[in-house]
């Protein structure tokens, strides 16, 4: 049956809402396929507004991977702002895709990518507007399967009631596997209903089906155990890891937005994973091991992205871009190619100790000096040992001095507040560091026109990290420390005016903490707060801490637990964690030992350059570190592609 567009219904509402262009689709490189010519229909969502969702790389990659299949079509949907939501509810307009304005409820699979847990209420809005029952248990063959992916899917327990499937790790191969199983099941006439399809997925060991697991609790509120309730559901579900990224050079045709978005640039991911071992960093832990794209592929992807989008900036993405074994060659070769053009390069994330003056010079050869951001994360040497961010004050000063002398006038430093064992003094050290940065910058440039912005956010302990057992700092103490730091910076007559200070209060962090380390009982909190009107929780102007706390009080009233229990409570070694049955590859004992090392302020090296220290990932996932150098070049005559050299691992 053809599925018709709802654009006619939508069109009359658009003059009455803000930024209507975000809902019209038709972007350069977007794809619309004939509904009846394919067997599998996917809709993907980044559960935030178009301006945040469109640049999301995960969705962009999977959109292409799926649309490249002849038997599949894939469209996108974004969160509609509250003004349009109201009108859609009034007129009965369902959640729609921006590609062909088809109703989301008509698709086979509705996949959501969560970079942060604060998108959960937006997911509920979209499900509800699509006319899909909120609870997976109430869905029938008429409804799509709802799939959660992205980093938050490594603990999807708080949204277990609302999703059908969670995919851990890289999505490229996983969405193909899911599609093949779906197409087969549909071609057989959908035998056994929804359950049969879900069983086929569960059997592979790589798809988590929450309803096939039972959670039992102890009287004190902790989890007693999580057990499969279906004989074919595995005890542990594995993450997916794509090896050899050169075989997956996506996105090949990045979308060019119709409306303004947070990043107006093409992005090329130069490697995936990070083994630096920063203990707070969930992204680094769950994406191990490091897998580099070769310099040749990076070069081709950059050239292609510039050609097919017309963007004038290309961001070389990864968790720490200057760590690529051939970053110098990449930057130099690309700077050669684009010299004299309007195309510029940027490294959106750079470690203090990996940045150097040559790289700085290459990146600015085209005359553009966008801001530089470094993330020492902790203000004192002691706290940096606790978090394993082994950046010395000397490193930082050397790096920013290189940047200032290469012509930058503005450096942004990112820190966290509320790290385990932190004291007021650790946070006040940030002011000292910032002043030293300005002093060194003035000295090297001979100018007082030097600025440094300190940006600081509250730390939220995350699953699958050594800090998964840690107590989160309460928001009152977080705010107190942030204010102490603000006063310390502002009161300084000599440097205060040269230092910008940006901070977020501690309350959103507590909600994020509840959702990050929550279990299935938190689902009721999410549903309650959503029913009470919560939307766009990642946006300061929409977020209401009071609403969340009231919803939590009501939803957890009959349980032995509360918000503090989930957030500011330290967990013990023997506690069953809600995500223990979800396998990121990291050995739980290794994480615990790393947590103990952290408390002893002991550091751990990067396994890219030292022997493997058995975190468990490579053995468990049958993967290995893939790093160069390949000795290749980007242009003018790319050498024949050599294999990435594979070093230690399993
Ligand atoms: S298993 Fe070894 S080589 Fe692989 S990521 Fe862990 S420490 Fe590194």
Separation of CA 580 and ligand 1 centre (Å): 20
Calculate mean pLDDT across residues 406-427. 94
Q: State pLDDT tens for residues 436-450.
A: 999 999 999 999 999
- d(CA 71, ligand 1 centre) in Å: 38
Mutate to test the pocket of ligand 1, among 606, 625, 626 (most ligand atoms within 8 A of CB): 625
Region 624-642: what's the mean pLDDT? 66
d(CA 619, CA 623): 7
**Number of other CB atoms surrounding residue 203 within 10 Å:** 14
Q: Enumerate residues lining ligand 1, CB below 6 A.
A: 275, 288-289, 607, 612-615, 617-618, 625, 648-649
Question: What is the per-residue pLDDT for 628?
Answer: 86
Average of per-residue pLDDT values in the chain: 93
- By most ligand atoms within 8 Å of CB, the mutation choice from 284, 291, 593, 615 for ligand 1 is 615
Predicted confidence at residue 324, as pLDDT, reads 93
Residue 249 CA to ligand 1 centre (angstroms): 25
> Is residue 427 in a domain?
no
Q: How many domains does the chain have?
A: 1
- Of 243, 289, 646, the one to substitute when testing ligand 1's pocket (max ligand atoms within 8 A of C-beta) is 289
The residue written with tokens 């490594």 in the block is 154
Q: Which two tokens stand for residue 7?
A: 């654009």
Q: Which is the closest atom of ligand 1 to the Cα of 288?
A: 5
pLDDT of residue 609: 86
Identify the pLDDT of residue 121.
98
pLDDT beyond 60 at 639: no
pLDDT at position 141, please?
Answer: 98
Look up residue 316 and give its two tokens: 């070389």
For residue 369, pLDDT beyond 70: no
pLDDT the model gives residue 116: 92
Task: Please give the angle made by the CA atoms of 23, 29 and 32, to the nearest 5 degrees.
Answer: 65
In a domain, 169, yes or no: yes
Name the phi and psi angles at 145, rounded to 5.
-85, 130
- Asked whether residue 529 carries a pLDDT value surpassing 80, the answer given is yes
Q: For atom 6 of ligand 1, which residue has the closest CA? A: 615
C-alpha 629 to ligand 1 mean position (Å): 19
- Residue 299, CA distances (Å) to 264, 266, 270, 326, 449 in order: 20, 13, 10, 12, 36
- By residue range, what is the domain housing residue 125? 7-235
Ligand 1 centroid vs 533 CA: distance in angstroms?
A: 44
Residue 303 falls inside a structural domain = no
- How far does the centroid of ligand 1 lie from the alpha carbon of residue 647, in Å? 11
**216 has a pLDDT exceeding 90:** yes
Looking from the CA of residue 617, the nearest atom of ligand 1 is 1
pLDDT number for residue 356: 67
Checking if the pLDDT of 261 tops 90, the result is no
Q: How far is the centre of ligand 1, averaged over its atoms, from the C-alpha of 317 (Å)?
A: 22
- Token pair 């997916």 is found at 240
Identify the residue with better confidence: 261 or 78: 78
Amino acid 593: pLDDT: 98
Which DSSP letter does residue 275 get?
-
What confidence score (pLDDT) does residue 640 get? 36
Using one digit for the tens of pLDDT, what is the confidence trace for 535-558? 999 999 999 999 999 999 999 999
Name the residue with tokens 């940030």.
Answer: 430
- Quote the ligand 1 centre to 219 CA distance (angstroms): 38
For residue 344, the model assigns a pLDDT of 85
Q: Is residue 414 domain-resident?
A: no
Q: What is the mean pLDDT of residues 265-275?
A: 93
Choose one of 239, 292, 590, 607 to mutate for the ligand 1 pocket test, by most ligand atoms within 8 angstroms of C-beta: 607
Distance 609 CA to ligand 1 centre (A): 11
In whole angstroms, how far apart are CA 174 and each of 67, 149, 201, 205, 438?
A: 15, 10, 10, 11, 48
The residue whose CB lies within 8 Å of the most ligand 1 atoms, and thus the one to mutate among 290, 597, 616, is: 616
How far apart are the C-alpha atoms of 156 and 147, rounded to whole Å?
10
Q: Which helix (H) or strand (E) holds 336?
A: helix 327-338
> For position 650, what pLDDT does the model report?
31
Q: Work out the pLDDT band at 345, boundaries 50, 70, 90.
A: confident
Percent of the chain with pLDDT strictly greater than 90: 82
The residue whose CA is least distant from atom 5 of ligand 1 is 289
Q: How confident is the model at residue 638 (pLDDT cuts 50, 70, 90)?
A: very low
What's the pLDDT at 367? 61
Ligand 1 centroid distance, CA of 619 (Å): 8
Span from the CA of 486 to the centroid of ligand 1 (angstroms): 40
**Does the pLDDT of residue 371 top 90, yes or no?**
no
3-state secondary structure 68-130: CCCCEEEEEEECCCHHHHHHHHHHCCCCECCCCCCEHHHCCEEEEECCCHHHHHHHHHHHHHC
pLDDT level of residue 644 (50, 70, 90 thresholds): very low
What the block records as the tokens of 264 is 């107006």
Q: Are strands 223-228 and 213-217 parallel, antiparallel or unpaired?
A: antiparallel
Residue 524 tokens, joined: 């009721």
CA of 584 to the centre of ligand 1 (A): 12
The predicted pLDDT at position 260 comes to 82
Atom of ligand 1 minimally distant from the CA of 623: 4
Q: How far apart are the CA of 391 and the centre of ligand 1, in A?
A: 21
Pocket test for ligand 1, best of 275, 583, 585 (most atoms within 8 A of CB): 275
Kindly give the number of the ligand 1 atom that is closest to the alpha carbon of 290.
Answer: 5
Task: Quote the pLDDT of residue 370.
Answer: 63
Q: What band does 645 get if pLDDT is binned at 50, 70 and 90? A: very low
Residue 163 lies in a domain: yes
Check which CATH number belongs to the domain holding 204 and give it. Answer: 3.40.50.280
292, 583, 649, 650: residue to mutate for ligand 1 pocket, most atoms within 8 A of CB:
649
pLDDT confidence of 402, banded at 50, 70, 90?
confident
The alpha carbon of 612 and the centre of ligand 1 are apart by a number of angstroms equal to 5
Q: How remote is the CA of residue 290 from the centroid of ligand 1, in Å?
A: 9
Residue 93 has pLDDT above 80, yes or no: yes
Assess if residue 24 is contained within a domain. Answer: yes
For the CA of 615, the nearest atom of ligand 1: 6
Mean pLDDT of all residues in 275-287? 96
Q: Tell me if 173 is assigned to some domain.
A: yes
Dump pLDDT digits (tens) for 184-215.
999 999 999 999 999 999 999 999 999 999 99
pLDDT value for 1? 65
Residue nearest to atom 8 of ligand 1 (CA): 607
Atom of ligand 1 nearest to the CA of 619: 1
Provide the Cα torsion 526, 103, 142, 54; round to 10°. Answer: -50
Q: Which residue would you say has higher pLDDT here, 201 or 365?
A: 201
Measured over the CA atoms of residue 291, residue 292, residue 296 and residue 298, the dihedral's sign is positive
Please report the pLDDT score of residue 349 as a whole number.
63
Relative orientation angle of helices 424-445 and 475-490, to the nearest 10 degrees: 30
pLDDT, average across residues 463-487: 98
**In a domain? residue 444:** no
CA of 22 to the centre of ligand 1 (A): 43
In percent, the amount of the chain with pLDDT more than 70 equals 95
**Range 5-33 average pLDDT:** 96
Average pLDDT over residues 174-180: 98
Q: How far is the CA of 614 from the centre of ligand 1 (A)?
A: 5
Q: Which atom of ligand 1 is nearest to the CA of 273?
A: 5
Closest CA relative to residue 223, chosen from 508, 550, 517: 517
Q: Would the pLDDT of 646 be above 50?
A: no
Report the nearest-CA residue for atom 1 of ligand 1: 618
pLDDT in the model for residue 368: 61
Kindly state the DSSP code that residue 239 receives in the 8-state scheme.
P
Closest-lying ligand 1 atom to the alpha carbon of residue 624: 4
pLDDT of residue 259: 80
Q: What is the pLDDT of residues 380-398, one digit of tens each?
A: 999 999 999 988 899 899 8
Strand partners, 208: 166
Q: How confident is the model at residue 643 (pLDDT cuts 50, 70, 90)?
A: very low
How many whole angstroms from 639 Cα to the centroid of ligand 1? 30
Report which ligand 1 atom has the smallest distance to the Cα of 649.
3
Within 8 A by CB and 6+ apart from 196, the residues are: 185, 190
Atom 2 of ligand 1, nearest CA residue:
612
Summarize pLDDT for 285-299 with one digit per residue, the tens.
999 999 999 999 999
| For the CA of 616, the nearest atom of ligand 1 | 1
């Amino acid at each position: 049956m053809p599925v018709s567009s709802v654009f006619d219904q939508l069109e009359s509402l658009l003059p009455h809402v803000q930024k209507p262009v975000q809902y019209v689709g038709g972007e350069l490189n977007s794809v619309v396929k004939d509904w009846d010519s394919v067997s599998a229909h996917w809709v993907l969502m980044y559960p935030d507004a178009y301006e945040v969702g469109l640049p999301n790389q995960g969705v962009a990659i999977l959109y292409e991977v799926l649309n490249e299949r002849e038997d599949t079509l894939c469209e996108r949907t974004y969160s509609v702002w509250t003004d349009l939501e109201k009108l859609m509810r009034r007129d009965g307009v369902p959640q729609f895709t921006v590609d062909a304005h088809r109703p989301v409820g008509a698709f086979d699979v509705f996949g959501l990518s969560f970079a942060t847990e604060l998108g959960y209420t937006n997911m509920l809005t979209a499900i509800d507007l699509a006319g899909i029952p909120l609870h997976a248990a109430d869905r029938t063959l008429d409804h799509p399967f709802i799939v959660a992916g992205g980093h938050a899917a490594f603990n999807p327990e708080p949204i277990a009631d609302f999703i059908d499937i969670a995919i851990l790790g890289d999505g490229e191969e996983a969405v193909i596997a899911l599609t093949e199983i779906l197409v087969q099941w549909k071609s057989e006439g959908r035998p056994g209903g929804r359950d049969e399809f879900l069983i086929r997925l569960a059997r592979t060991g790589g798809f988590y089906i929450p309803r096939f697991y039972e959670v039992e609790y102890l009287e004190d509120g902790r989890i007693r155990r999580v057990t499969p309730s279906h004989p074919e559901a595995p005890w542990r579900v594995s993450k997916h890891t794509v090896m050899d990224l050169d075989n997956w050079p996506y996105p090949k045709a990045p979308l060019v937005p119709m409306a303004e978005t947070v990043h107006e640039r093409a992005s090329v991911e130069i490697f995936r994973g990070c083994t630096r071992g920063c203990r707070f960093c969930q992204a680094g832990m769950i994406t191990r091991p490091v897998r580099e794209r070769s310099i040749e592929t990076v070069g081709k992807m950059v050239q292609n992205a510039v050609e097919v989008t017309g963007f004038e900036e290309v961001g070389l993405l990864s968790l720490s871009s200057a760590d690529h074994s051939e970053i110098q060659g990449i930057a130099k070769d690309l700077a050669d190619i684009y010299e004299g053009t309007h195309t510029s390069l940027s490294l959106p994330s750079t470690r203090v100790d990996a940045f150097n003056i040559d790289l700085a010079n290459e990146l600015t050869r085209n005359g553009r000096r966008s801001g530089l951001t470094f993330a020492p994360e902790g203000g004192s040497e002691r706290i940096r040992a606790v978090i394993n961010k082994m950046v010395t004050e000397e490193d930082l000063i050397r790096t920013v001095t290189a940047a200032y002398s290469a012509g930058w006038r503005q450096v942004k430093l990112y820190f966290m507040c509320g790290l385990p064992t932190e004291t007021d003094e650790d946070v006040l050290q940030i002011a000292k560091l910032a002043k030293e940065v300005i002093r060194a910058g003035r000295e090297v440039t001979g100018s007082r026109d030097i600025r440094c912005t300190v940006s600081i956010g509250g730390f939220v302990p995350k699953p699958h990290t050594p800090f998964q057992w840690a107590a989160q700092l309460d928001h009152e103490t977080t705010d107190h420390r942030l204010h102490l730091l603000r006063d310390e910076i502002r009161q300084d007559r000599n440097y205060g005016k040269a230092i910008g200070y940006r901070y977020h209060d501690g309350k959103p962090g507590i909600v994020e903490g509840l959702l990050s380390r929550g279990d299935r009982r938190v689902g009721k909190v999410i549903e309650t707060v959503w029913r009470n009107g919560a939307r766009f929780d990642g946006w300061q102007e929409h977020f209401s801490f009071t609403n969340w706390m009231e919803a939590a009080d009501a939803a957890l009233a009959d349980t032995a637990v509360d918000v503090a229990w989930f957030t500011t409570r330290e967990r013990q070694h023997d506690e069953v964690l809600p995500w223990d049955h979800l396998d990121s590859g990291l050995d739980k004992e290794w994480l615990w030992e790393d947590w103990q090392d952290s408390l002893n302020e002991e550091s751990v090296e990067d396994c890219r350059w030292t022997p493997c220290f058995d975190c468990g990932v490579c053995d468990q996932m049958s993967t290995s570190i893939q790093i160069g150098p390949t000795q290749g070049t980007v242009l003018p005559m790319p050498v024949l592609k050599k294999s990435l050299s594979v070093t230690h691992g399993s």
